[in-house]
Amino acid sequence: MSTNNFDSHTTAKEVADAFSSQITGKNVLITGTSIGGIGFEAARVIAQYANLVVITGYDSGRLQLSVDAIKKEFPQANIRKLILDVSSLAAVPKAAAEVNAYPEPLHVLINNAAATPAKFSVTDDGLERQMATNHVGPFLFTNLILPKIIASRTDTVTPRVIFIASDAHAFTPGLDISTLAQPMPEKYKTAFEPYNDTKSANVLTTVELASRLKGKVNVYTLHPGLIFSQIMTKPESLADYQQYNILDKDGQPNKDLPFEWKTVPEGAATTVVAAFDPALSDKSGAYLRDCQVTTDDVAPHSTDPERASQLWKATEKIVGQSFDF
C-alpha cells in the first residue's frame, strides 16, 4: 500500500524535508542515538525542523558527542539529553519521571534503542538481555510517559509512538511468552534467536497498544532494512554475523544475500515516515518497510490479537504495573 513517493533508496533527510511542515513545532524523543546509527540519523534530520528533540543513551559522554554533532550541523537545533538505560527496570522509571517533568508536551516517541545481538546473558533483573533492552524496557518507558503523550493531542495533532522492529520477527516460529520472566538459555543457540523474538515482541506490542489507545495516539512499527552499522562489527556480534554469512570473512557486507543493503540514511528514512507522514493518520497499528505500509506481509504469529494481549499482560506482570488508557 503506497502512502507516498518514497522507496528503499529514499534518505531520512529527504523524508524530513518533505514533511518539514509536520515536524515544525513538534517535540520528539528518540531512544538509542549513538553516532553512526539510525536513531542518531533520525534525530539529526528531525532536529533541523522540530521544536525540541530529546535524545537518549546510557553513556553521558557518547550522548554528548551526538548532541555536539547535531549542533555543529544545525546550530539552532534544540537538543536535550536524557540518560536512559532501557535494559534496567530501576533506571527506566527515573528517566520517565524526568520526561514527565518537562514543561513541554511530547508529540512523538521513537523507541529505537536496541541491544547488540550477542550470546545469552541476563540483566540484573533476571531477564534475557536482548528482551530486556528491546521489549521490556521500552514497554515500561512508553507506558510511564504515555499520559504525557496523550495529553499533547489536539484537534489537529495526534501524537505518535513508534517501535523499531525488523523483518527478523518472521525468523522465529513464534515468541514463547511463557519464558519471558524465566528465560531458558538452552533455547538460544545463536545471538539471533533472542533478537528475532524481541522483534516479534515489538510488533505484538504495537498491535496491542494501537488497539488499546483507539486513535488517541497512533502507533506504528517498522523494518528499517539491512544496514551495515557499527553494531555488526562489535566483538560480541561479529562471529555470529559471519557464521550466518551476513558479513564476509573480512567483516564486510555479503553482497550475495537475497536482501538489499541500505545505508544508514536510507535505513532511518522509514522511521521518519512513521513519525510524520500524514497519510498514516488512519493506519494506527501499521507495519512499514521501505517507507510504505506492508502490514499484510507480517508473520501471522506477530499480528495475532490474542497473542498480543497475552504478551501485554505477561510484560505487565514482569514490570509489576498495569496500564490502562
Contact 213, 220 (CB under 8 A): no
Give me the percent of the chain exceeding a pLDDT of 70. 99
Rounded-to-10 torsion of CA 103, 62, 69, 252 = -130
Cβ contacts of residue 91 below 8 Å, gap of 6+?
Answer: 58, 84, 85
pLDDT score of 80: 98
Confidence class of residue 168 from pLDDT cuts 50, 70 and 90?
Answer: confident
Q: Phi/psi of residue 298, each to 5°?
A: -70, 140
The DSSP output letter for 133 is I
How confident is the model over 259-266, as a mean pLDDT? 93
- C-alpha to C-alpha distance for 261 and 253, rounded to whole angstroms: 8
Give per-residue pLDDT as tens, 132-152. 999 999 999 999 999 999 999
The C-alpha cell 483507539 sits at 214
How confident is the model over 103-110, as a mean pLDDT? 98
The three cell numbers of residue 89 are 527496570
Contact 134, 114 (CB under 8 A): yes
Mean pLDDT score of the chain: 94
**Above 80 in pLDDT, residue 231?**
no
27 vs 179, higher pLDDT: 27
Confidence class of residue 2 from pLDDT cuts 50, 70 and 90?
Answer: low
Helix (H/G/I), strand (E/B), else coil: 67:
helix
As to burial, measured by CB atoms within 10 angstroms (0-12 exposed, 13-18 middle, 19+ buried), residue 135 is: buried
**Above 60 in pLDDT, residue 1?**
no
Cβ contacts of residue 310 below 8 Å, gap of 6+?
Answer: 177
Label the pairing between strands 226-227 and 218-223.
unpaired
Alpha helix positions (H), 262-304? 264-276
**Above 90 in pLDDT, residue 3?**
no
* Nearest by Cα to 122 from 168, 100, 163, 89: 89
| H or E element at residue 288 | strand 287-289
How confident is the model over 76-93, as a mean pLDDT? 98
The three cell numbers of residue 165 are 522492529
**Above 80 in pLDDT, residue 315?**
yes
Contact 29, 54 (CB under 8 A): yes
pLDDT score of 304: 95
- C-alpha to C-alpha distance for 137 and 115, rounded to whole angstroms: 11
The long-range contacts involving 300-307, CB below 8 angstroms and separated by at least 24 positions, are: 301/172, 301/173, 301/174, 301/175, 301/200, 302/169, 302/170, 302/174, 302/175, 302/200, 302/203, 302/204, 302/207, 303/203, 303/204, 303/207, 304/204, 305/207, 305/208, 305/211, 307/174, 307/175, 307/177, 307/204
Confidence class of residue 170 from pLDDT cuts 50, 70 and 90?
Answer: confident
How confident is the model over 5-29, as a mean pLDDT? 97
Confidence class of residue 158 from pLDDT cuts 50, 70 and 90?
Answer: very high
How confident is the model over 116-132, as a mean pLDDT? 92
Give per-residue pLDDT as tens, 286-312. 999 999 999 999 999 999 999 999 999
Helix (H/G/I), strand (E/B), else coil: 159:
coil
pLDDT score of 185: 86
